Structure 1
Amino acid sequence: MKKILRKTLLTSTLIITTTLLASCTQHSSKTTNNNTDGDITIYFARHGKTLFNTYDLVQGWADSPLTEQGIELAHYLGEGFKDIQFDAYYTSDAGRQRETMQELLKQKGVKDYKICELKGLREVFFGGFEGGPNTKMVYASMKLAGYNSIDAFYKNYQAGNLPIDIMINSIAKTDPKHQAENYQQVKARTQTALKTIVQNAQNSHEKNILAISSGMSMQAMISDLTDNKDKNKPLSNAAVVKIIYKNGQYTISEIGNMEYVNKGRAALKE
């Protein structure tokens, strides 16, 4: 049974890495067709705070609902996005991402929409660490990443001194079940999802796209698209990564931006 389960999980990971796994030919019931100059702007936001986040549990493909604070963050983000007209909306199939998008759009006042799901936008699959304490995963992987203390590990991660590829690969190599995704797998599937979003936007003449994803998968997605050291810093709940696509090139113009949340919070508290 264990061998069958392991084979199934590894096969699922391979499929997500190499195929699209979701088809969205129409993203919203109203398309503005305003992409006249070829540039496409994608606002990626991390989901709101969840139950597992609150309990400091590993949350990759495992899922948990938003807390009241997480819903509040989604509302702040929606309010902060009110001046932006989005043409399409994306999440993975994770409940926390769906719920964040739904709460955000409720606050933004968007009623007529369709959310397109791409499994490539899932968080990293952490294998045997899923659902367990984050500290256990850190202790297991930090020495392989070159750290002898958990304080030094977190200090360097917060400062952006720990490359995301080293972090993800260290977790994968120390996974007791040997099922966790490695960096190349995560980067491949998230960048495939990004390319799909761009291709769909070009086909439908869309300009502004909103996508909800998860922290480490977003870091992996932009890891080789920018030299900005902030790409290695952990992303807060509801933090925004802004990607501009033009003439075949990606520009990462914002990483971990909380100004949309802050703007929405200020407006709702007036």
Structure 2
Amino acid sequence: MTGDARVHFVRHAETLFNVNGQLQGWCDSPLTERGERQAAALGERMRELPLAAAFTSDLTRTRTTTAAALAGHPGIEPVPMTELREWHLGGWEGKPNAHLWTPVFAEYGYEYEPGSPAWPAMTADGRETVIDTVRRLDPLGRAESAADVRARLTSGLTRIVDVAREADGDVLVVTHGMVLGTLLRQLAPGHLVKAGFPNCGTVTVTWTEGALAVGEIVDTGAFSAA
């Protein structure tokens, strides 16, 4: 990479499954009323930026979030990409979070609880090992492997970065919470997300004279009305 570029990576707004504590890798659920407010707040923040292009996971929750994010940029047509989907959780899809995370955490010697402080230790070497644990424990054998996720993200990121390098402005990418940690590590090997991504959380990646910098996570959704 030689040219300058700036890409804003965003997690989708709050969904019904988020509130219900259900797993939603490749399956979907609608935004909640709070999620709609978060997405609207994201749109107001994005309105101030010189966006030139946008990409989104092709799932409904990300496409809905993207539409709101681009309210101030009606001339931009977002590009849906299967490569930006969340991890595919196989037989765990749609089930309560604990059904998956209880046995996964046990594999690492921890007891699962929402927001567990054990997560940073479990993912100290990246989230790839956790992806493979999910796959190994999947009762239906349909979950993705780390190699699967890396391959599709590499393909998607190559396309996004190529556009960002040529765009006359910033690029918006709306995707998912778990895959964002994997995606950022693809871009910046060794990078670890210090905290989880809140709904409509945003992180900006810049390339300046060939040097890459990953910004801090901004809770864009927190700017919405309660």
TM-score of the pair, normalised by structure 2? 0.88
Alignment-mate amino acid for residue 211 of structure 1: V
* 1:233 matched residue in structure 2: 195
Q: Does 1:171 align with 2:134?
A: yes
Residues paired across the two proteins, number? 221
Alignment of 1:149-188 (within 5 A): 149-151=111-113, 154-157=116-119, 160-163=120-123, 164-188=127-151
* 1:217 matched residue in structure 2: 179
The structure where helix makes up a greater share of residues is 1
Structure 2: gaps (5+ residues): none
In structure 1, how many angstroms separate the alpha carbons of the residues matched to 2:42 and 2:114?
Answer: 32
* 1:6 matched residue in structure 2: none
In structure 2, how many angstroms separate the alpha carbons of the residues matched to 1:169 and 1:43?
Answer: 28
* 2:87 matched residue in structure 1: 124
In structure 1, how many angstroms separate the alpha carbons of the residues matched to 2:79 and 2:3?
Answer: 22
In structure 2, how many angstroms separate the alpha carbons of the residues matched to 1:173 and 1:96?
Answer: 27
Larger RCO: Structure 1 or Structure 2 (Cα < 8 Å, ≥ 6 residues apart)?
A: 2
Does the 8 Å contact 1:147/1:153 carry over to 2?
no
In structure 1, how many angstroms separate the alpha carbons of the residues matched to 2:168 and 2:157?
Answer: 14
In structure 2, how many angstroms separate the alpha carbons of the residues matched to 1:205 and 1:261?
Answer: 26
* Percent identity of equivalent pairs: 27
Structure 1: gaps (5+ residues): 1-36
Give the 4+ runs in structure 1 shifted more than 6 A: none
RMSD across aligned positions (CA): 2.2
Does the 8 Å contact 2:3/2:210 carry over to 1?
no
Q: What SS does structure 1 have at the residue aligned with 2:51?
A: coil
Alignment-mate amino acid for residue 236 of structure 1: P
Q: Does 1:63 align with 2:25?
A: no
Q: What SS does structure 2 have at the residue aligned with 1:195?
A: helix
Deviations 1:106-135, CA, capped at 9 Å, x for gaps: 2xx222221111111000000000011110
Does the 8 Å contact 1:142/1:153 carry over to 2?
no
Alignment-mate amino acid for residue 71 of structure 1: E
In structure 2, how many angstroms separate the alpha carbons of the residues matched to 1:143 and 1:190?
Answer: 28
Does the 8 Å contact 1:92/1:213 carry over to 2?
yes
Which entry has the higher C-alpha Rg, 1 or 2?
Answer: 1
TM-score of the pair, normalised by structure 1? 0.75
In structure 1, how many angstroms separate the alpha carbons of the residues matched to 2:114 and 2:81?
Answer: 36
